[in-house]
Structure 1
Amino acid sequence: MKKLFYILFLLVLVPKSGFAQGSKIDQLLFSTLIESKAYIDKGKVADYIPELSKANKNLVGVALVDSLGNLHTKGDTKSKFTMQSISKVIALMLAVEERGEKYVFERMGYYGTDKPFNSFEALEYRHKPLNPMMNAGAIVTTALIKGKDDEAYKKILERVRYITKNEDININEAVYQSEKETGNRNRGMFYLLKNFGLFDAENEESLNNYFRQCSIEVNAEDLAKIGYFFAHNGTRFDGDKTFYNPEISKLIKSIMLTAGMYDYSGEYSSKIGIPSKSGVGGGIMASVPGKIGIGTFNPSLDEQGNSVPGLYIMEKLSKELNLSIF
């Protein structure tokens, strides 16, 4: 009987946040969001893809899915933006599921790098990309997903919809066309990688699938749910375990830790210590193993392509909640 009363006491007095004093988490998110706005003018919106330059740099949002699967949000968490490089983790998951880790990583490395995400360096003498988070590696990864025409893209889209439990997620057609029209550097990589025999492709459709996956539109809440999914080894925020896979989740988190934040990854790991993936659309998706998922959004980027307010938010939350894995 005493045990029953204790359980009832916990249910009534402990918030359903996954943290003791859950309201303090919401207060922390709010104060961190306000502070992050001071960093908006320290970066600039991406303009190398014309459609991305139209983003509103004043939008800032932070979402957190706690260890119980509950969602906490502050700011512009429903504002949509394209996944860009964050989609690479979903493509990698699918490629490894279908081909196996050995097959995939015979065609790319596990290495971190101090080179930009769109660098050709190492391709000429290694004849394969350094890691799956650089554009060259991601182009290979997407090409390895089985299926004709746009089937690989559709698999990526459906997996994103599943993880987030959001069937409204779709492609931003204008961004896709803009990516395709201005993607000559990626196109050059595609043909170089094809020449090395890293994948079979009769035409540019697998490259178009890469452009499509980057153009999938999400919001900060969706990113937090993706972060939770990998934090809990493939368990969705509502407890669904359809794609539960500790080994692939561990692989994804390790790759994010070493290469997920472009050429800032090493410093990010030291300062913040959370497996994370950023995108030039302004999003950051973070996965704290066994604990929580975080999603941030603001399109004002630093020289590496990471959201400046987003980096502030991640550093503040990591310190205040002791989230670093180190």
Structure 2
Amino acid sequence: MANSSFLLSAKGIFIAAFLSLNTTAYAQKTTDIAPISEKVLSSVLEKNRTYYTQGKVADYIPELGKMDATAIAFSVVTKDGKIYNTGDTGKKFTMQSISKIIALMIAVNEKGEAGVFDKMGYFGTDQPFNHFSNLETTGKPLNPMMNAGAIYTTSLISGDGEKPFLKILDMVRYITKNQALDYNKSVFESEKATGHRNRGMFYLMKNNGLISGNEEQLDNYFKQCSIELTAEDLAKIGYFFANQCVRFDGDSTYKNAELARLVQSQMLIAGMYEFSGEYARTVGLPSKSGVGGGITVSVPGKMGIGVFSPALDQHGNSSAGYHMILDLVKQYNLSLF
């Protein structure tokens, strides 16, 4: 018994010493890294600026093709709500698919998670964002991050006419604390005029009994994609979901840990389209891109990141934006993995 007590005591001393050494090493490691600042962000931005030459501005929606390929911005909202910006921070662009996470939040708040996912999957995909996937076979969208699932999600939001869209717009304004945000009517009209593939998805789901309304519901989807904002607004959105749906200034009106977990899980597995698996390996954070050139990133329990550069890679994600995020994640060891 005495020997056992001695061994347990020695083991305890060893563990305490090990933890002490590792804590000291970790503290040393973190103090060696400069805290996030505009200078740090500027350095990362300049290092990755030229990646825009490896991408192409989306032109399948004619209005998007008018974007300046050289524009670039980088924003971070830290845990304490401080905002750091660099680059073309005043440059506005449309949310596009990033609006899908806001629509999902509202639909789940109104219908409950089971009510939303009863006729839609939680699946990831190896297909582009506008792929029909298994609509023509099972009739169910794969997930709420692809266009088909997003159109379905928006159709679930209650209200006639454009009321569902206005709910999405109001929520974006709330999260960003920016009441001046609105949608770009020219982009909306351009999306509506050329959105035949989305229209096909809408009617296929209507044929399968998922959607019962008319094309006003599809217009709401086109409008939500046309909401204009900045990289700073995206960082605030990333912060919101990273911190249990609490706003960057501490406003906890919509605080909901379960809902934040749901949205982030979908961002992680499908937020970067068919690149999501590789992105989870390299960046390892819940993120959502849009073909307007923006990406919003949630670092769970910590910060929000927003980037903008309209030249897109072959997956429809911002080329320079991805590399800025990747560099910051590596520098501060932000990956979940």
Find the aligned partners of 2:190 and 2:122 in 1 and give their Cα distance: 30
Give the superposition deviation at 1:124.
1.4
**Is 1:171 paired with 2:183?**
yes
Give the superposition deviation at 1:107.
1.5
Give the superposition deviation at 1:275.
0.2
**Structure 2 counterparts to residues 140-159 of structure 1, below 5 A:** 140-159=152-171
> Unaligned 5+ residue runs, structure 2?
1-30
Note if contact 2:33-2:332 (Cα within 8 Å) is conserved in structure 1. Answer: no
The Cα RMSD (Å) is: 1.2
1:254 pairs, out of 260, 265, 268, with 265
Find the aligned partners of 2:307 and 2:262 in 1 and give their Cα distance: 23
Q: Hey, what does 2:233 align to over in structure 1? A: 222
**Is 1:234 paired with 2:245?**
yes
The SS at the match of 2:37 is: helix
Q: Which has the larger radius of gyration?
A: 2
TM-score by length of 1: 0.92
Could you say if the C-alpha distance between residues 287 and 20 of structure 1 is closer, same or farther in structure 2, counting changes exceeding 3 Å?
farther
Q: Hey, what does 1:10 align to over in structure 2? A: none
2:299 pairs, out of 288, 292, 315, with 288
CA offsets, 1:206-258, max 9 Å, x none?
00000000000010000000000001001000000001010110000000000
Could you say if the C-alpha distance between residues 197 and 54 of structure 1 is closer, same or farther in structure 2, counting changes exceeding 3 Å?
same
Q: Hey, what does 1:198 align to over in structure 2? A: 210
**Is 1:264 paired with 2:292?**
no
Q: Hey, what does 1:13 align to over in structure 2? A: none
**Is 1:75 paired with 2:99?**
no
Find the aligned partners of 2:162 and 2:202 in 1 and give their Cα distance: 16
Corresponding letter in the other structure for 1:45: V
Give the superposition deviation at 1:77.
1.7
Q: Hey, what does 1:50 align to over in structure 2? A: 62
Find the aligned partners of 1:20 and 1:76 in 2 and give their Cα distance: 29
Find the aligned partners of 1:26 and 1:45 in 2 and give their Cα distance: 27
TM-score by length of 2: 0.89
Q: Hey, what does 2:132 align to over in structure 1? A: 120
1:180 pairs, out of 171, 184, 192, with 192
Q: Hey, what does 2:321 align to over in structure 1? A: 310
Give the superposition deviation at 1:68.
0.1
Corresponding letter in the other structure for 2:215: E
Q: Hey, what does 2:309 align to over in structure 1? A: 298
Could you say if the C-alpha distance between residues 135 and 24 of structure 1 is closer, same or farther in structure 2, counting changes exceeding 3 Å?
closer
- Count of residue correspondences: 307
Give the superposition deviation at 1:142.
0.2
Find the aligned partners of 1:77 and 1:126 in 2 and give their Cα distance: 44
CA offsets, 1:44-67, max 9 Å, x none?
000000000000011110000000
Corresponding letter in the other structure for 1:131: N
Q: Hey, what does 1:59 align to over in structure 2? A: 71
Find the aligned partners of 2:75 and 2:292 in 1 and give their Cα distance: 16
Find the aligned partners of 2:80 and 2:251 in 1 and give their Cα distance: 13
Find the aligned partners of 1:261 and 1:21 in 2 and give their Cα distance: 29
Corresponding letter in the other structure for 2:183: I
Give the superposition deviation at 1:21.
7.5
Give the superposition deviation at 1:270.
0.4
Give the superposition deviation at 1:23.
5.4
Find the aligned partners of 2:277 and 2:65 in 1 and give their Cα distance: 28
Corresponding letter in the other structure for 1:174: S
